[in-house]
């Protein structure tokens, strides 16, 4: 079966993934002389840098997602299809999806990355990742639900399992989650659970390396460590989690931590789709591309963002897997396609490092700009401004700003809701529908 997309004399560019790179490419190709088909499993774009604030009940989910169709309203050459891509057929220039197949003249893979559990099936099954809105909401439910249960438990050791949390991975995501948890313990939980001794809550951040925020400056690493320890986070360096049975966390050195929740932020791996040659897959499960974002061995298939492994002199092991790389690749590729139609020369891609940053909570952040490194309150303001500016939609910007101001003034949050999906038993569902439901 073929997906219904209007036929056109325009060349068709199919983009897989509505993340930072894929969405930027589609936006820049709006009103161009190409037919653009954007495919994603969701009908919205997710702002991943703020997932942790949804998980910590600081922001509502709707404020950091943006409907794809809303962005492309009244743009005649862009089509949205919500489905899963199952395989790529490079020879016949065709994609197979759950809705059917779609042909392409040019294919851009912007599937991003999945959580990397490094082959540990037990951790993959029981740890909690943070790569989607659904996972962020699940984490919020687990945290709040476990605190509710802990109130009724009198045994100290059993209670610790419910209230202690282990965060694995000392990159920006792990640091931001740990800092947010520490602030929740300090400002929020004593108000919500006055009968609980919040000093019993232990928050662990485990990093396999000898410093936090690998890839950022030594000053940023040292300051983030200082910020976290002052917030009461127990930072464990030069160690790693090897096992988690749902009750006890086992470390490489044999240490065991009692916690029912392990938040996994320790690494990512490329989200590869079936159909491409294994020779095109490089380290980190990323697709090897040339300086024009073309996948190795392919003429009309490209990759951008986290999934793309492009080597430059300044980045011999590939670019960092951050939003800025994806967005710059999206802009570059849109310009390259337009230049091709005009017969202009296409220059190779060159990444421009705009800096890195991470927040460790209220008034605490670290920022590394190309020629300037700073930490503390001003860095925190810069972090707020940059992330607010990058959000899609005026409503989202306003809602996030209001939430941030409210939380800052009141030291409180109003989104601590445990929302569970309703599960309907098949037999009950049939009874509800009745015998004439399908008539």
| Active site positions, annotated | 176
Q: b/e map of 123-139 (b: 16 or more CB within 10 Å)?
A: beebbbbbbbbebbbbb
Q: b/e map of 345-358 (b: 16 or more CB within 10 Å)?
A: eeeebebebeebbb
| Cβ count within 10 A of residue 340 | 13
Q: What angle do CA 375, 378, 381 make, to 5 degrees?
A: 115
**CA 258 – CA 245 distance, rounded (Å):** 10
Pairing mode of beta strands 100-103, 248-251: unpaired
CB of 75 closer than 8 Å to CB of 90? no
Pairing mode of beta strands 234-236, 203-206: parallel
**CA 408 – CA 285 distance, rounded (Å):** 41
**CA 265 – CA 255 distance, rounded (Å):** 20
Helices (H), 17-107: 20-28, 51-55, 68-71
**CA 383 – CA 49 distance, rounded (Å):** 11
Q: Which residues contact 371 (CB under 8 A, 6 or more apart)?
A: none
- Gyration radius from the chain CA atoms: 23
**CA 399 – CA 407 distance, rounded (Å):** 12
Q: What is the number of residues in the chain?
A: 439
**CA 12 – CA 32 distance, rounded (Å):** 11
CB of 46 closer than 8 Å to CB of 65? yes
Sheet of 286-288, strand order:
281-282, 286-288, 308-309
Question: 């990093």: which residue's tokens?
Answer: 207
For residue 241, the SS3 value is strand
Long-range contacts of 246-252 (CB under 8 A, 24+ apart): 246/126, 247/161, 249/166, 251/206
> DSSP letter at 294?
B
């Amino acid at each position: 079966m073929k997906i219904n997309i209007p036929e056109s004399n325009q060349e068709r560019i199919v983009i897989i993934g509505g993340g930072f790179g894929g969405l930027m490419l589609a936006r820049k190709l709006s009103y161009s002389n190409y037919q653009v088909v954007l495919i994603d499993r969701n009908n919205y774009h997710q702002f991943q840098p703020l997932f942790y604030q949804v998980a910590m009940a600081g922001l509502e989910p709707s404020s950091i997602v943006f409907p794809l169709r809303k962005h492309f309203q009244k743009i005649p050459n862009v089509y949205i299809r919500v489905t899963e891509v199952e395989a790529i057929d490079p020879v016949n220039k065709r994609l197979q999806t759950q809705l059917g197949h779609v042909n392409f003249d040019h294919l851009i893979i912007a599937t991003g990355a999945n959580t990397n559990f490094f082959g540990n099936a037990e951790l993959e099954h029981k740890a909690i990742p943070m790569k989607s809105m659904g996972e962020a909401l699940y984490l919020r439910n687990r945290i709040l639900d476990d605190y509710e249960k802990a109130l009724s438990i009198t045994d100290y050791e059993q209670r610790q399992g419910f209230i202690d949390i282990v965060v694995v991975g000392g990159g920006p995501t792990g640091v931001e989650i740990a800092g947010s948890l520490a602030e929740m313990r300090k400002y929020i939980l004593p108000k919500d659970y006055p009968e609980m001794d919040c000093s019993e809550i232990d928050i662990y951040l485990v990093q396999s390396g000898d410093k936090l925020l690998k890839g950022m400056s030594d000053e940023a690493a040292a300051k983030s460590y200082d910020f976290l320890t002052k917030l009461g986070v127990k930072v464990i360096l030069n160690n790693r989690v090897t096992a988690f049975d749902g009750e006890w966390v086992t470390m490489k050195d044999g240490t065991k931590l009692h916690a029912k929740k392990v938040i996994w932020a320790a690494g990512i791996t490329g989200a590869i789709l079936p159909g491409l040659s294994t020779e095109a897959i490089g380290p980190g499960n990323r697709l090897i591309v040339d300086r024009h974002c073309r996948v190795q061995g392919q003429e009309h298939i490209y990759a951008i963002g986290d999934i793309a492994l492009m080597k430059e002199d300044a980045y011999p092991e590939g670019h960092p897997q951050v939003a800025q790389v994806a967005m710059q690749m999206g802009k570059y590729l849109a310009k390259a396609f337009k230049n091709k139609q005009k017969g202009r020369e296409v220059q190779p891609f060159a990444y421009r490092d705009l800096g890195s940053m991470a927040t460790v909570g209220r008034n605490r952040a670290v920022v590394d700009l190309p020629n300037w490194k700073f930490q503390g309150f001003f860095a925190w303001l810069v972090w707020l401004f940059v992330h607010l500016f990058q959000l899609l939609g005026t409503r989202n910007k306003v809602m996030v700003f209001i939430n941030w101001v409210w939380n800052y003034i009141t030291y409180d949050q109003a989104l601590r809701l445990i929302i569970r999906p309703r599960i309907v038993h098949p037999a009950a569902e049939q009874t509800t529908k009745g015998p004439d439901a399908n008539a």
